[in-house]
Amino acid sequence: MQTFDFDLFVIGGGSGGVRAARMSAQRGARVALAEVAAMGGTCVNVGCIPKKLYSYAAHYGDSFEESHGFGWVGEAPTFDWDLLKANRAREISRLNGVYVQLLTSAEVTIIEGWARLLDAHTVEVDGRRFTAKNVLVSTGGTPTVPAITGREHVVTSDQMFDLSPFPKRLLVVGGGYIACEFASIFNGLGSQVTQVHRRDKLLTGFDDDVRRFIAGEMSKTGINLQLGTHISAITKTDDGLQVEVKDSQDKPASFLVDSVLYATGRVPNASGIGLETVGVAVNRVGAIQVNAQYQTSVPSIYALGDVTARLQLTPVALGEAMVVVDHLFGPTDGKKPRGMSYDFVPTAVFTHPNIGTVGYSEADAREQFGAIRVYRTDFKALKHTLSGSTERTLMKLLVEDATDRVVGLHMVGPDAGEIVQGFAVAMKAGATKAVFDSTIGIHPTAAEEFVTMREPVKA
């Protein structure tokens, strides 16, 4: 019988990899984890956590201005970009240490360096070879920049947290959630922001009402949205970066900015880790193909998270990790092995204002269920009756006619993610519109609107 150094070897120390390694080790498995960079992956280091911290920072500018309507008198304090960067770096360093402590406490062997597969059971890390009964690839994703003239002058989301100096003029390329979030953040921090997107609406895949509404709200905050526009060239000059663009009719224009952020997509981080050597199958975009247990075409090798390019969300990777752990080492307390459902996965976009959504868009709901009812409202939140802000809030429900089940819930407004998370539980449990209607709202809150919308706006 073949013996191995480890029962499980995890390549990648992001959220999914750390969860799988730690929980496997707690079930008695011999586990190693290899990571070449700071522990915690994209989310902790250059994604969810620092981005949300910067989003908090960006709200203060508006909050100081809005406070005057509530009796606060005086000038707003000045913004110190370097201080924010230093405070963020300290917090991220603390979280890196937490992740390392979680692994070491579970007796996971941490191996620093670049790992690559040599065969179905062998991993090499900077010249050292290790064998494992099973290998888990959780290497995440990485930003990609198209081959445009001047691409050497652009930055990606990975560099945005430590830009120096602060960009007084920022051009953001892209219309996905990363582009929209950074446009809102830097606009709130004081940059003059232009956002260029080749499509006629932001946030492809989201509900159309949400897409239209957030574009209007972002424009009201001062972001210069250039939709139906693409970049033709970027040139470095003594005064900054000259960005040449063309609209859908090929009409040219140009912008002079300090920094250009390309946020046009991410690709699986699957190069240079030996997939082709071992014969692990990938799809046309380079994502590792897996089955329901996240097993690849090589039975001893598993993969999860962004490297499989399913839903690129940290909680999804955590859920997938637990499926792998149960599959390899059995569930605890006699429970059934977990499975992963991608239905009704809630998500948030930390634009200003925030977006929260769960379930189907209106277009997808009509395609999936046929007859549906649409409930929609938009309003000025109570806070802004005194703040002086023109910000409005959008809420929308989609209900399947045949069952009365709520199949889509969407919000654009402050704390949308916090509000939508709770409703996601109800929708996962199959809540109907009748259940929503019979639920008493908390007054006065924005969230109560979801249980007080009585008349559909359309069917």
Just list the catalytic residues: 443
Residue type at 25?
Answer: A
- Determine the Cα–Cα distance for residues 1 and 8; give it in Å rounded to an integer: 17
- Tell me how far apart the alpha carbons of residues 268 and 317 are, in angstroms, rounded to a whole number: 14
Burial class of residue 160, CB neighbours in 10 A (0-12, 13-18, 19+): buried
Q: Is the dihedral of CA 6, 7, 11, 13 positive or negative?
A: negative
Tell me the C-alpha distance between 148 and 186, whole Å: 24
Q: Could you give the 3-state DSSP secondary structure of residue 447?
A: helix
Which 8-state DSSP code applies to residue 59? H
Distance, CA of 409 to CA of 356 (rounded, Å): 8
Which is it for strands 109-112 and 31-35: parallel, antiparallel or unpaired?
A: parallel
Q: Which two tokens stand for residue 214?
A: 């957030």
Q: Hey, what amino acid is at 346?
A: P
Interatomic CA distance for residues 334 and 151, integer angstroms: 55
The backbone torsions φ and ψ at residue 425, rounded to the nearest 5 degrees and listed phi first, read -60, -45
Q: Which residues pair with 302 in a beta bridge?
A: 136, 295
In what helix (H) or strand (E) does residue 181 lie, and over which residues does it extend?
A: helix 177-189
Residue 111's Cβ-side half-sphere holds a number of Cα atoms within 13 Å equal to 23
Q: Give the integer Cα–Cα distance in Å for 257 and 307.
A: 33
Element (H, E) at 98: helix 81-105
**Contact at 8 Å (CB) between 254 and 270?**
no
- Which of 390, 386, 366, 361 is CA-nearest to residue 378? 390
N- to C-terminal Cα distance for the chain? 64
Which tokens sit at 418?
Answer: 């916090």
Please name the amino acid found at residue 378: D
